[in-house]
């Protein structure tokens, strides 16, 4: 006997990366313990000072009232960055909310979703909740866009670009051809695109079936406030808006995200620091004997050539160093490692060196 719909009953919910607890607050703010947390692709640096200022300036009146249902201050600021009218933008409670809205808006029992695999493990969970069929098309060994994705021609096609957890990037021209071939909607999940060399945002000007997902959690260091957004033509945005909660973005998050996206100078400086560290981490992991393809995200996927990835993962956990291990085909011989500060990366590299010599 269950109270739940059958598909909810059989769904194993999304498993977020482990979040170590915070130590007691010191100097008025929570401080992490000696944990090195490289498992959920957060940005290792603080957000722009303009964000903290915006949060401090929140008035009692803003908290007493419901927030702007559309987050118009943010839409205007984002529209300037992308050189589109503000009705091309929809604010969301994190990029994850946009995914949920898209499944609800486009998918049902007879309207499948298609995506290349391996990819973000939330997609099949949302498909189960929506009770829609999934068409999973494997990437080849170089993570090129599979041709079968276009021929599947699903109601909703999702391409995570840069892809998680591989860090691979499909060129804008290839994405353009895919958008052209599909009769359904193409959602390009650009949660990690801030760390890539190119992006697909301009496709929304030419294609009425493209939705770009962006997140403020990665390049803008705001995973804690939950803010993401869609970029798409106004007809798609208007349809998606019917599905969202009335007040899906709160006043504090909207003020913080608006301040963050307005501070493009800080954003660019931050992204450069992460990319510089990514290059160093990649190089050093290769020197330790890992296979590490170039990554376009704020993480790298390191293949353990001579030892089990799960065993290295466990050894790292013993030292309170958290990376991500996924126990599914094609990635269970690899560790996904978020690019941390140089100090965090050094701790990880030293620990890996010791573990590898212990294993012999
Ligand atoms: C591929 C991908 N898409 C979307 C998201 C959603 O990001 P958020 O909800 O934090 O904006 C994430 C988060 O880690 C992600 O990895």
CA–centroid distance, residue 215 to ligand 1 (Å): 7
pTM over 0.85: yes
Structure confidence at residue 328 (pLDDT):
84
Q: Which atom of ligand 1 is nearest to the CA of 223?
A: 10
CA–centroid distance, residue 95 to ligand 1 (Å): 5
pLDDT-derived band at 31, boundaries 50, 70, 90: low
CA–centroid distance, residue 189 to ligand 1 (Å): 8
Q: Which atom of ligand 1 is nearest to the CA of 218?
A: 10
Whether residue 298 has its Cβ less than 6 Å from ligand 1: no
Structure confidence at residue 22 (pLDDT):
56
What mean pLDDT comes out for the span 63-76?
Answer: 98
Whether residue 230 has its Cβ less than 6 Å from ligand 1: no
pLDDT-derived band at 151, boundaries 50, 70, 90: very high
Structure confidence at residue 141 (pLDDT):
87
Whether residue 95 has its Cβ less than 6 Å from ligand 1: yes
- Is the CB of residue 22 less than 8 Å from the CB of residue 30? yes
Whether residue 297 has its Cβ less than 6 Å from ligand 1: no
Structure confidence at residue 33 (pLDDT):
65
- Residue 304 pLDDT greater than 70, yes or no: yes
User: Among 16-25, 154-163, 327-336, which stretch is predicted with the lowest mean pLDDT?
Assistant: 16-25
- Residue 191 pLDDT greater than 60, yes or no: yes
What mean pLDDT comes out for the span 179-183?
Answer: 97
User: Among 33-47, 207-221, 253-267, 279-293, which stretch is predicted with the lowest mean pLDDT?
Assistant: 33-47
Structure confidence at residue 25 (pLDDT):
47
Q: Which atom of ligand 1 is nearest to the CA of 119?
A: 1
DSSP type of residue 200: -
Question: Which of 98, 99, 120 to mutate for ligand 1's pocket (most ligand atoms within 8 Å of CB)?
Answer: 120
pLDDT (tens digit, 9 = 90+) per residue, 101-126?
A: 999 999 999 999 999 999 999 999 99
CA–centroid distance, residue 61 to ligand 1 (Å): 31
CA–centroid distance, residue 112 to ligand 1 (Å): 21
Mean pLDDT of the chain: 94
Alpha-carbon distance 224 to 151, whole Å? Answer: 39
């Amino acid at each position: 006997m269950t109270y739940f719909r059958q598909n909810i009953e059989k769904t194993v919910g999304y498993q977020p990366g482990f979040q170590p607890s915070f130590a007691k607050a010191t100097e008025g703010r929570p401080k992490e313990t000696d944990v090195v947390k490289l498992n959920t692709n957060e940005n290792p640096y603080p957000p722009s000072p303009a964000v903290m200022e915006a949060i401090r300036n929140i008035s009692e009146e803003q908290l007493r009232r419901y927030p702007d249902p559309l987050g118009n201050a943010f839409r205007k600021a984002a529209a300037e960055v992308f050189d589109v009218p503000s009705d091309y933008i929809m604010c969301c409670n994190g990029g994850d909310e946009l995914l949920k809205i898209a499944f609800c808006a486009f998918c049902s029992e007879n309207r499948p979703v298609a995506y290349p695999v391996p990819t973000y493990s939330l997609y099949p969970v949302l498909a189960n909740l929506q009770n829609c069929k999934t068409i999973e098309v494997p990437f080849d060994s170089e993570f090129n866009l599979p041709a079968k994705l276009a021929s599947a021609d699903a109601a909703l096609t999702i391409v995570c670009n840069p892809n998680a957890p591989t860090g691979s990037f499909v060129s804008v021209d290839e994405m353009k051809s895919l958008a052209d071939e599909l009769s359904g909607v193409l959602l390009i999940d650009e949660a990690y695109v801030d760390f890539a060399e190119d992006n697909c945002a301009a496709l929304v000007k030419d294609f009425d079936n493209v939705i770009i997902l962006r997140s403020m959690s990665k390049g803008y260091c705001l995973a804690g406030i939950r803010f993401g957004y869609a970029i798409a033509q106004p007809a798609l945005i208007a349809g998606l808006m019917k599905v969202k909660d009335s007040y899906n973005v709160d006043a504090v998050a909207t003020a913080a995200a608006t301040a963050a996206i307005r501070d493009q100078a800080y954003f660019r400086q931050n992204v450069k620091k992460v990319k510089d560290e990514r290059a160093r981490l990649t190089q050093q992991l290769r020197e330790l004997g890992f296979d590490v393809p170039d990554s376009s995200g704020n993480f790298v996927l390191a293949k353990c050539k001579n030892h089990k990835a799960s065993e290295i993962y466990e050894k790292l956990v013993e030292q309170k160093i958290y990376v991500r291990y996924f126990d599914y085909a094609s990635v269970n011989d690899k560790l996904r490692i978020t690019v941390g500060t140089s100090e965090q990366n050094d701790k990880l590299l030293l620990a890996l060196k010791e573990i590898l010599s212990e294993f012999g």
